[in-house]
Amino acid sequence: MPEFTIFPAIDLRNGKIVRLAQGDPNRQTTYGGDPRAQAEQFKAEGAEWVHVINLSGAFGEQASANLQALEAVLSVGLKVEFGGGLRDEESVKIPLEMGVERVFLGTAAIQTPALVDWAIARYGPARIAADIGVRDGLVMVRGWQESTPLTMLEAGKRFKAQGLEWCVFTDVRRDGVSSGVSMEPAVELKIATGLKVVASGGVSSVEDVIRVREVGLAGVIIGRALYEGKLRLRDVLDSPVHGAS
């Protein structure tokens, strides 16, 4: 079976850990003000990776507090993938040179294809991923607040042609509401493009994670379910679902 990675998520806004419902900045729940302690807890439960989102950057807000939080998370020693508001060369360079293992580009990947080309040429495809958030069949940008004319498959095929290998896929309507993973489009994206697809949004049980692995996706991101106690990271990592990462 292909490698499968479980990514606990730390979403940052103004340096605090938050979760949004369906990507809506006005439907925010705050879960704590110590991202390093949260990363330490994930590591203690057996995580190897953590998925960190700079929501402030995605919404065009001041992101300095989130970069300080990222530095604190990196000090814990987990592998970090990071995204949100990375829309020019400098904003891509900063986290990678801080020690982030991989960055994911959303708005810029759609609107500035040359940035993807530059990032792959400079850092290699293993360290760059696309972030595709879809609502009603169309790719969303600007923190999932604006729709584009692109479909998921149009975007995915373009990314693959540019040389990308990794993609995070989110059904925006399921994100942060623990309603189950949107499996069919994620699998369709994987089959049509050959990308390594990591599913995000809607995870609420170990069974959800098992289904994601069984259909051959590359990984799954878990957020709200961990913070609200519906799912324990250690239980997921100790279960048969957890393969090589």
Q: Two tokens at 79? A: 């592998």
Residue 69, number of CB atoms within 10 A of its CB: 26
CA dist 95 to 12, 68, 70, 90, 163, Å? 14, 11, 8, 9, 21
Whole-angstrom distance, CA of residue 187 vs CA of residue 165: 15
| CATH topology (fold) of 5-238 | TIM Barrel (3.20.20)
Q: Two tokens at 231? A: 């799912």
- Whether 233 and 47 have beta carbons less than 8 Å apart is answered as yes
Q: Across-strand partners of 30? A: 18
Q: What is the pLDDT of residue 171?
A: 84
Q: Two tokens at 165? A: 């290998």
Q: What is the pLDDT of residue 244?
A: 42
Closest CA to 78 of 26, 10, 170, 31: 10
AA identity, residue 20: L
Whole-angstrom distance, CA of residue 153 vs CA of residue 97: 31
- Whether 242 and 212 have beta carbons less than 8 Å apart is answered as no
Whole-angstrom distance, CA of residue 245 vs CA of residue 230: 23
Please compute, for residue 137, the number of CA atoms within 13 A of its CA located in the half-sphere on the CB side. Answer: 1
Provide the 3-class DSSP secondary structure of residue 178. Answer: coil
Whole-angstrom distance, CA of residue 183 vs CA of residue 234: 23
pLDDT mean for each 10 residues of the chain (245 residues)? 87 93 84 96 97 90 94 98 94 97 94 96 97 90 86 96 96 63 90 96 88 94 92 89 51
171 sits in which H/E element: strand 166-171
143: alpha, beta or left? (left if phi > 0; alpha if psi -120 to 50)? left
Q: Where are the domains of the chain?
A: 5-238
